[in-house]
Structure 1
Amino acid sequence: MSEPSHTNGHAEAADPNLPPWLPRISLENAVRAQIGDFEKILSVTPQPTSSGDNYSALMVRLLVEVELLDHSTKSVSFVLKAQHNNEIMAAILSKLRLFQKEEKMYHTILPKFEQLYADVGKTIKFAPKAYKIDQDLGVDYVLLEDLKVKSFKNANRLAGLNLDHMQQVLEKLAAFHAASACYVEQNGMFGEEFTVGVFSEANRRLLQEFNASGAFLAQLKKWKNCQKIYEKLAKSDEYLVDRLLQDQQVSMREFNVLNHGDCWNLNIMFLYDAFGKIKETLFVDFQVGKYGSPANDLYYLILSSAAPDIKTVKFDYMVRFYFDHLVENLKLLQYHRPLPKLKNLHAALLRNGLAAYMVVSKVLPVVMLDKTDNANLGNDESKVKAAMYTNQKYVQVMSEILPWLDNRGLLDWK
């Protein structure tokens, strides 16, 4: 950062990795929304965050120095989520309209979910507050309150979430899902970006590219006691996208919710009290929300983020815990349609076995790869994939998960 900007409240972008439009942004309204009236913004200093785990967006912390009405100064900070300067990634995000979708979530849908609870006397917060830049620059971005300055943090990604953490997240997820079901009842169906999302025939090539299983299967073949499972999955790439497109079509005969779609450890923020007890749980990153069976979020959350010692052993307990909170919230919000039944949720979990396989073969290896290992590999995709699938901790966990999936019939999705 060179000279800080002064009274106009604009940020300067000296770093070539930062968005070229960053110097033109003005944050008067966002600052006012956070601290009330003030005299002027003295400087805005952008700092790229250390989050190397967000592949689809560039995360920048904006440190804002403000002169108050009594001429004292105060520091305020925001997190700006913007498109990467990487043209290929920007083109993909643009085609999938992920930023527009996330903006709609933060500014329109989530406030309505929270209002549903406020209307029945319950205060609940699902995500950080979102703000707008003062002027429309014609660019995609999301501007959020900085949860880190409020002492929110992620739990240990490599260790996974223990039962206490999982219960807190499942409780919040159940409240989120219940609100989405009641939202549809009161406001009508979500738009196509949520009912179809990325799962359209137009995106077939992208889906094939992102979900190719070659690197995973090449290692699976070598794992002891996995020969039969390998044989079952060996040709799965031939029909996997067909099944994905089929499974992700919304069945109106089922109980459906708006799934977060990317509900894993790093998209969950916790606030702890002085004794380490969880006081609050919030979700971030709402780019890939999808309306459909809650089985999708349950598999994603539990199989990607629960600690290895509870992932399968406590799976049914966690589903039951979620279900009880879901029904409790639906009753509280005066949901008028028939309440879901636990047996129907289990039937949905059985039908969506492919979702479980996708999580353990695509998401879990990323979750379990040590960030230091990742950094040493640079941008060589084949090296990263090899490291993911040969990681001994991952192989160990999968030696328990794959037979568990197979015994439940969750790999029989041909």
Structure 2
Amino acid sequence: MLPSWLTTDYLQPRLRAYCKDEQLKVLGIWAKPATGKGENFVGVMTRIYVDYQLGDGSVQKKTYIVKQALPDNVPQAEVFFEYELYTREMDMYEFVLPKLKELLQQAGLDGKLTADAITVDRGHNTMILEDLAPCKFVNADRVKQLDMAHTKLTLEMLAKFHAAAIVLQERHPNLLTKCFYTHFFSRDKKAYSEVFAGLFRAFLRFIDGQPNLKNAYGDKLHQLRTHIMEYGARAYDVNASDLSTLNHGDCWTTNIMFQYDDAGKPRSVVAIDFQFSNCTSPAIDLHYFFTTSLREEVRDKEPELVEHHYKALRANLERFSYKGSFPTLQEYVLQFERRRFMSLLAHLFKPCMIYNGSEETSDFSSLYAESPDGLRYQKSVYASEAVIRSAAKLLATLDAKGLLDLH
């Protein structure tokens, strides 16, 4: 359904500005939902179909994505408003991403970074964005996850984003307002502590139902339960010697889109969904991406992947003639290692990210609430060999490094 205010009179001046054509005339608009049930918990996505006539008389048929904030009466909306997710994403599309694009072009680093914003409307908490589907950008399979070619391409895109953002911080620090220093684990915020407490309880119920995992890690994980928000905050903390930049903040399979060549190989990649973007170590993006989105055999090549991102980041900064401090590879690996607890926290979302069962939900709270619907959904997403294997491998790594001990 189209919002009642989204009329031809509303859209026409905005499309005229975007297309730089004062004679453009909108002929008609209609709509379809842009995402399936359970694919987007943070907002309402609609694909609109627009016919318009240009000043030269030619008629265009285009599609756009309308992204609206959740209505106030939806329970999870309160969580998202506390963390300024909608303000942040509107700031990203209106101010930050266009400036990053401009900086990249100036440095000769071409290639699309994300969808253009046609308009950002703060009065309606809505953005109208370019639809990437006609440009043949599609999502990879979130259940099968990413192979090495997709992974390296994504790391190169992140390295471009991170490098441009380092330069942005240096040249235009006023663009990164206070909301970009807020994240899931911000110590002055509360709502996500309830979310993560519930996610971790669901994880503990799963562990307690797996005798081998329970025997090996159960006691340690139960002791960790009340500390996870503080350990998460420490992962995001940066000190004077740490590399810090704007992160994507939610880099996983569904928020990345690929273009393919005729042989079916990925040749370019863009990121979408920037409501969680925040300033911290780029290692946070890496841990989240590696944990949620990579096939097992790719995940096993972690040192090679960290180095791939590091080298691309360094090369991009050289294109910018960046003169600020930059870590050695060894220092960068240590910065990545110090944030490894993030992989456990990211893993709490993984069961629903790779879920392929029949238990549908469009309610964010089903991921963590102990309601009948929530418990049924959580049990279903954890009943997967892939999740059991993934958790066993992750916990073995974390335990070997002492990260399941209180510290």
Query: Could you tell me the TM-score, scaled by structure 2's length?
Result: 0.89
The 5-angstrom pairing of residues 241-252 of structure 1 reads 241-252=229-240
Looking at structure 1, the residues matched to 376 and 245 of structure 2 have their Cα atoms a distance apart, in angstroms, of 37
- Summarize the Cα distance change of 1:50–1:114 in structure 2 as closer, same or farther, 3 Å threshold: closer
| CA RMSD in angstroms, aligned pairs only | 2.5
- Summarize the Cα distance change of 1:181–1:71 in structure 2 as closer, same or farther, 3 Å threshold: closer
The 5-angstrom pairing of residues 333-352 of structure 1 reads 333-352=320-339
Structure with more relative contact order (C-alpha pairs < 8 Å, separation 6 or more): 2
- Are 2:149 and 1:164 equivalent residues in the alignment? yes
Q: Residue 370 of structure 2 aligns with which residue?
A: none
Q: Residue 389 of structure 1 aligns with which residue?
A: 382
- Are 2:22 and 1:74 equivalent residues in the alignment? no
Preserved CA contact (<8 Å) 2:27 2:52: yes
The 5-angstrom pairing of residues 231-250 of structure 1 reads 231-250=219-238
Q: Residue 304 of structure 1 aligns with which residue?
A: 292
Give per-residue Cα distances to partners, 1:316-344, cap 9 Å, x unaligned.
Answer: 11111111101111111111112222222
Q: Residue 369 of structure 2 aligns with which residue?
A: none
Q: Residue 25 of structure 2 aligns with which residue?
A: 40
Cα deviation for residue 284 of structure 1 reads: 0.3
Looking at structure 2, the residues matched to 296 and 229 of structure 1 have their Cα atoms a distance apart, in angstroms, of 24
The 5-angstrom pairing of residues 180-195 of structure 1 reads 180-188=165-173, 190-195=176-181
The 5-angstrom pairing of residues 10-89 of structure 1 reads 15=1, 19=3, 21-23=5-7, 26-32=10-16, 33-34=18-19, 36=21, 38-52=23-37, 53-69=39-55, 71-85=57-71, 86-89=73-76
Cα deviation for residue 274 of structure 1 reads: 1.9
Give per-residue Cα distances to partners, 1:47-69, cap 9 Å, x unaligned.
Answer: 11133311010001111011344
Identity of aligned residues (%): 27
Cα deviation for residue 297 of structure 1 reads: 0.4
Please, which runs of 5 or more residues in structure 2 have no aligned partner? 367-372
Q: Residue 143 of structure 1 aligns with which residue?
A: 128
Cα deviation for residue 151 of structure 1 reads: 1.3
**2:242 match: secondary structure:** coil
Total equivalences in the alignment: 394
Give per-residue Cα distances to partners, 1:193-216, cap 9 Å, x unaligned.
Answer: 112345434422432333431111
**1:41 match: secondary structure:** strand
Q: Residue 120 of structure 1 aligns with which residue?
A: 107
- Letter of the 1:132 partner, please give it: T
Q: 2:85 aligns with which of 90, 95, 98?
A: 98
Looking at structure 2, the residues matched to 374 and 203 of structure 1 have their Cα atoms a distance apart, in angstroms, of 30
Please, which runs of 5 or more residues in structure 1 have no aligned partner? 1-14
Cα deviation for residue 191 of structure 1 reads: 2.2
Looking at structure 1, the residues matched to 8 and 42 of structure 2 have their Cα atoms a distance apart, in angstroms, of 23
Q: 1:108 aligns with which of 86, 95, 117?
A: 95
- Summarize the Cα distance change of 1:56–1:406 in structure 2 as closer, same or farther, 3 Å threshold: same
Give per-residue Cα distances to partners, 1:132-182, cap 9 Å, x unaligned.
Answer: 16xx67221121100012211001111110000000000110111111111
- Summarize the Cα distance change of 1:64–1:242 in structure 2 as closer, same or farther, 3 Å threshold: same
Looking at structure 1, the residues matched to 124 and 363 of structure 2 have their Cα atoms a distance apart, in angstroms, of 32
- Summarize the Cα distance change of 1:208–1:91 in structure 2 as closer, same or farther, 3 Å threshold: closer
Cα deviation for residue 98 of structure 1 reads: 1.0
Looking at structure 2, the residues matched to 93 and 337 of structure 1 have their Cα atoms a distance apart, in angstroms, of 35
Preserved CA contact (<8 Å) 1:116 1:179: yes
Preserved CA contact (<8 Å) 2:344 2:394: no
- Letter of the 1:329 partner, please give it: N
Cα deviation for residue 304 of structure 1 reads: 0.6
Cα deviation for residue 34 of structure 1 reads: 4.1
Q: 1:208 aligns with which of 168, 176, 194?
A: 194
**1:45 match: secondary structure:** strand
